[in-house]
Structure 1
């Protein structure tokens, strides 16, 4: 049907409807300008436009607006809805009807994905027969066949546009046009991500729910269900839906991640995800449009909280293992997806996420020295620059620089110091404060070290959220996750309160020391990894995401995690000897400090069981059987006296004492190594 005739038949009511649509239409300025250019026949304007994008992105709304533009330009406008077209050349031709002979017809085909099998025929036959000056718009979910753009003729005639979410200003204008008060805009925008359908639906619901507007709007399950049905279309199987949910929860989804969670179907599911119009592809993998991500997550949390918790833990475990095993060059790429899982917690306002592409993280090189010192002096002053110069001389490998991807200039730098002795404590007040706290709270044990995030320097937005700060935080967390024998981590920030809540949320509170460098006061945040190792620390962070959605019996995030004790080697030796003597007295054994040591808590076994496992492990070493028999007879079998134990073993008392003493020493050494390294006491003792 020719649209001009239809408008004349509708009369006043149709005019009111179209006027209301015009008032509610926002954005799409570039698309409108390109279409108007084609209508005007301007040089270089393309006569055929292919619009594609996911459901709800506003394709139909834009096509209606283009129809109005064509009518206002005096053109004959033909509209075709792909949902009502038989997907054959004959069916399409019948839907189009008689094309006016005069030049300048406008043909608009909406929901083109329903008849996309006709692309070849349209390209090679139908469109070639249209009168000169015709303008054609095809709008669908899927991008056009590559043969359009690879053809040297069509590449000059076709304009392909991927429709995106509305930018913030246009999204706010749409909400205003829908009658939503400005105070409620942010709540709706944070959920919808600028998707026009989501904005319109959420605004309509929020306006009706006046109490929700006042208190902070959240989408109802009806809104979420409606959005999912519109945005996703048909999902072939439960496995495909599972892949979508994993993709929504993860920062990016690779085929490797899917394989770890769904098994052999991963290649098929990844290929299907890749074809969906609401999925974007990057070098690291796939991710969904924001509104799809939000709706899928909210739906799964509500519909199947246990399933959501299981999926989260599986994704979390995969990402933790990846951080621990990737090369240094891949550390940031592996760490950012893990941190992204916490995006709705306290970290939400402290990261820019994908904006990190504006800079790249590189190791410091000697030719960067003057620029690094210049940045230090600009942001922190001359005394800080002198301290920075000292650390560049003594630990240049600790520094990372952040280079603009546009200009190549170094715009920021970061230092992750590793300290096994108080080097620089007389030069750097921050390092002096870190050592002072470690000595007073829990001194280092042999082989351990302190890590200090010493500099976070980006002068334009000093120590505030920015792409370089994202990368600095991610690198620091990646170093923590991979560390071996790291006793303390300290992070220093300017003492202005900005980071207090963030650091406290991640169990790295202020240690109460506020050193000064030049005129500036700083605050030192810290965490003792021997008191709460990385495993329990990550679990606690992860559980905050699940909150009350946790299944019965899972640990909570309410702070119930018991801190470990950090024993010196003499204290540890004494505790092991006391535990052996109390091994047959549960009440006395329960009071032993080893119960709160790393070696016991990480093994997830009772202290008595751990001691027995350790004694059994001694069999594998030199003189192991003698040591095992002496310890077993004395403590496990419970000989009344050492003389009785020697008699039971058929040994002279002096020989028995030698075996027992050596066995206790070897057992303590074995347990101490496990305490320091976090390894299980299950294998043989190599000594």
Structure 2
């Protein structure tokens, strides 16, 4: 650290003289860390601030950020507004950019992540094993992947979490092959795996330009469920790269860190527990503000209990006399507002507490008056100690906001309802405007629900409707919760929290209890458990029940229970015979079990109900192809191409149909077109390689397979295809490496066993060859080529003996 920087004592003294802190020990501990070189063994690079609501955790974190800035550090602050790990990275990138340090590659990938999520409906991979040459174990995962493509299940982290490790290893290769590249697939399936190494690389670059880089993760009691495992991973392993030594992380939440998870990391952590101010600290802060009258000080001590947010708020009013206590039912907040003599400001402080987050437009919805007066009141409110600014919006501290809400609800129930209704209308207008800007009619995706900004506006609208009229608004809120389930845990979690908060703020016991129970179900059994609870408590007349059954069926299908999923789809269709989602989901699930005829019957119904959606006809064409209905497949896929000429999947699927039928020139033209639309389309490259095989062009066959595997190296089917190409060129030793890798990825891959057996036989290893061929036939008894090859190997073995 340079000698021109102020010392720790000077910085702390400056803050105390400004009356901003009552205690200095936590700041001193943090500052001492910044006075140490990163390699010093006393260096701690994880600080955890924890304590009950109102003890000043966020205030302290902001103070620590200022101390870090004055020490020359680059800093970034994240709170619960992030919502997910990619969301947190987005906030980090923005914070660093505001200090002149752009994380350009991370920003590019985050943009791509958002785009790929919205494009995930273009991922179409259905059906069981197309023939014995494709991996059978992947079929179920592919069917689940199709549900993602059909907009029926989450397309981000929640979907990836639903697939267990073995199934990802065995089957997700075919899903990934549908994306532009392996990176695109990972950005949808497991974005952290792609984004985290880039973040660490960007942090390393930033760390070389500043003495410290400090990351502040606030409200950890809310962000910990999704940030905790990721943070532990990057701080305790080098799986994604190395965290620079001069990166410090500060977390802040209500609870201590989990010893079971973090205990082994204790040497690198510093615990900063916070409690209420002591009497001496409270008196010191009041004295700094000129509040020394003993009766006033005693009243402040009594009202606040030493909670720093309340002490600071009262200190800012600089009370100089003690009025009578007033109505004994009044809350502490009402009491400390009595020192604000301006009735307009008092009313403003109360009204501003109504929204969970406040901006100027919402402020004008609840505060009446001329524009200049309203602007001045907002500026005054922004300066209050219990108000913080996050993401351009104001937010009250929970300890202050809760009693302010209770006071208004009890004093004027009608005024409470009217103001919340006005706020709901304000959010509703914004939501309507946002809908006009969203794309509509593209595929079947619900563009509104897929948009995070729209969902946030709907959340705000629903919160205020629930506060205004809990009983009337609750059924619609549950319907919205069900709709959110189609978009994964990241979309559902805020709706569950909304019910908890609205139930508490409006003192609506039924809403509060529902929220608590749904929160427990989501935490315990995920979306399937939440939907089970919803359906179990349904009265029987809710309009969302059919959709909930279909969504639960989706969850069962991707969790490996297709038969149970089919039963749930039947429940959904019994309630709503026109529910396209259920027909489409049942079609995909049937296709995953090999029942393509049943899938086609469902897709016929889908097209009756939704004839204008080009993806439906493409999907039916794909199932015709898998069922080996050549003419019907070509007809549907051609119609799909006519309606959606930029669908690279439709071109590639028709090319595969032509290739199987033996029309190699038509197949080659279709694959060329698909690859012109998407040059790094691994599945199309591997399929075009089959055309080159049919045309006898082995060099081009191998070239396409090499390109496909460069894009998707962990692709079992692609590995087996290249192994076959090497084998027919007499390169059996090289082929074995591909077969071995294919079987590592998919241990149930019959074709890979059979092909490896032939290569082993070609190399004179007949006993091993027979073992492989026996295994292939155990997996797939009706496998003519394997039977033929086993007879040949037995003959070779007999001739040798």
Q: How high is the TM-score relative to the length of structure 2?
A: 0.25
State the structure with more CA Rg: 1
**Higher RCO, Cα 8 Å, sep 6+:** 2
Q: Which has the higher helix share?
A: 2
Higher strand share: 1
Normalised TM-score (structure 1): 0.29
